[in-house]
Amino acid sequence: MKITKNLLAQVMLLSAVNLLSLPVFAETDSDGDGVVDSIDVDDDNDGLIELYTLHDLSLMSFDYTGSSLKSSAEDPGSTEGCSYTGEDGLSEPACTGYELMADVDFDTNANGMIDMGDEFCNYSETRAVCEGWIPVYLYADFTGNGHRISNLYIDRPDDFYIGFFSKFSSHKLSNVEFSGALTSVTGGYYVGIAVGSSINDSRLSGIRTEGTVTAYSKSGGIAGGISSGKLSASSSKAHVISTNPTSTSGSGGIVGSVWGDGIVETSFSEGKVHAVYAGGITGNLDGYAILRNSFSVADVMGEYFAGGLTGNMRAGSTIENSLALGVVAGGDYYRAGLGGLIGFVDTDTQYLPLLKIAVTHSHWATDTTQQSKPYGNELEPRDQLEFYRASSSEPATLSELECPEQASEGGCASDIRLYIGWDESLWDFGTSNQLPGLNLAGTVYRPVQTMDGSFDVVTE
């Protein structure tokens, strides 16, 4: 068939019209910063690099300052979409940390075990085991945005500073959960599920952990150690085990050792602790450390000393407005010193002259902890007098501790008022048949005794 010039022109015109009508796929720029989403490492423009997978999380090791996203040590890093305003008011193309944008799971082949089929097995030919995740040192902010890191696995028994983060320095770590049946962290000293050691005025908050922690010493459900910083609004249901039969360094349900001017507050422990010096919340309180507005329902077993709140407490440290409820027991290795609040009171002030131990307005349930004294060791008469002079904490039975419906209430326990000065914006006293619960951001976490005598923590 012969195509005329007019027919050909009409065909070409129709083709041009059809091409013009096709959709155009332009890349989007969600935060309007002039960088398209496909290359923007901070797509919500909050100064934090967005991480979605375990592989993404592993890249933190290449830039511990969180200023850029690097794929290797040699990579100069991408700062596309980052904008940081310094103290001088000038804007720089850099981020200030990382944020987790999705739940992640270390059981990557989903077979219910950590094995060579998992992406982060890191198999050791020498030991013939998966050594698991390589802890990351971070000098930057990190938030989990409420996401869950499931089945974290680390097996490095001879290494110090073991946790998801080895050391966390000078920044904020917040809003992340570590849980899952396979969650297990094994190390030497300073071992925790979230952090080996938190240092240099770091701020940890909104951290939740479950799993098993095994270490020689200085281990905790969340952190192995905290120095000159704070942990708040956090909880652990971990089983913490110290394997060193002679170490005088403690292990705790939440933190192994708190020293300097470290603070643990508004937090609770509900797991188990078995160590030489064992505490429901902390293993050691040293220097100017403070434990306040917290509770423990953890079962605690100490080979040498065990306390419902802390295993060892040294002169200069303080416990305020806190509650111990879990069983405190001794192991078979030694005739342990057991206390409702403290395992061992260390009055040696060689390094901290003229400082005293203060345990103010804190309580322990004599029937559930199975302890009648606040501390487990024998003190010289003078030291005993100084302890009680500087402290104002009393024992009571569980039913007496449930009775008050407000702070500083009398009439529930003979001759004493309970919960003197407790902040009712932090503590919810419930009814006369309930224990006080911690009010964290509008959710009340209340300890409740179960039919078998143990405790659960329920939310309201």
pLDDT tens column, 236-253: 999 999 978 766 678 999
Sheet with 437-440: strands ordered across: 427-428, 437-440, 443-449, 455-459
Locate 443 and state its tokens: 């959710």
CA 254 to chain centre: 7
Closest CA to 134 of 63, 187, 78: 187
3-state secondary structure of 7: helix
Supply the DSSP symbol for 72: S
Q: Which CATH architecture has domain 103-404?
A: 3 Solenoid (2.160)
Please report the pLDDT score of residue 423 as a whole number: 97
Cβ of 135: how many Cβ atoms within 10 Å?
22
Percent of the chain with pLDDT over 70: 88
Residue 414, burial from CB neighbour count under 10 angstroms (0-12, 13-18, 19+): exposed
Cα four-point dihedral sign 265, 344, 220, 303: negative
- Residues 173-215 have pLDDT tens digits of 999 999 999 999 999 999 999 999 999 999 999 999 999 999 9
Mean local confidence (pLDDT), 52-63:
98
List Cα–Cα distances, 85 to 29, 51, 52, 219, in angstroms: 21, 22, 25, 38
Q: Which residue has the tokens 């940390």?
A: 97
Percent of the chain exceeding pLDDT 90 equals 74
For Cα atoms 35, 39, 40, give the angle at the middle one, nearest 5 degrees.
55
Q: Where are the alpha helices (DSSP H) in 226-380?
A: 366-369
pLDDT band of residue 19 (cuts 50, 70, 90) is very low
Backbone angles phi, psi at 122, to 5 degrees: 45, 65
pLDDT of 31 reads 79
Q: Which two tokens stand for residue 434?
A: 């309930």
- Cα–Cα distance, 458 to 256 (Å, whole number): 25
> Residue 142: what pLDDT?
98
| Residue indicated by tokens 């342990």 | 336
Residue range(s) in the chain whose domain bears CATH number 2.160.20: 103-404
Considering the chain, what is the average pLDDT of its residues?
90
At residue 245, the pLDDT reads 72
**What span, in angstroms and rounded, lies between the C-alpha atoms of 113 and 68?**
34
Q: What token pair was written down for 152?
A: 């974290």
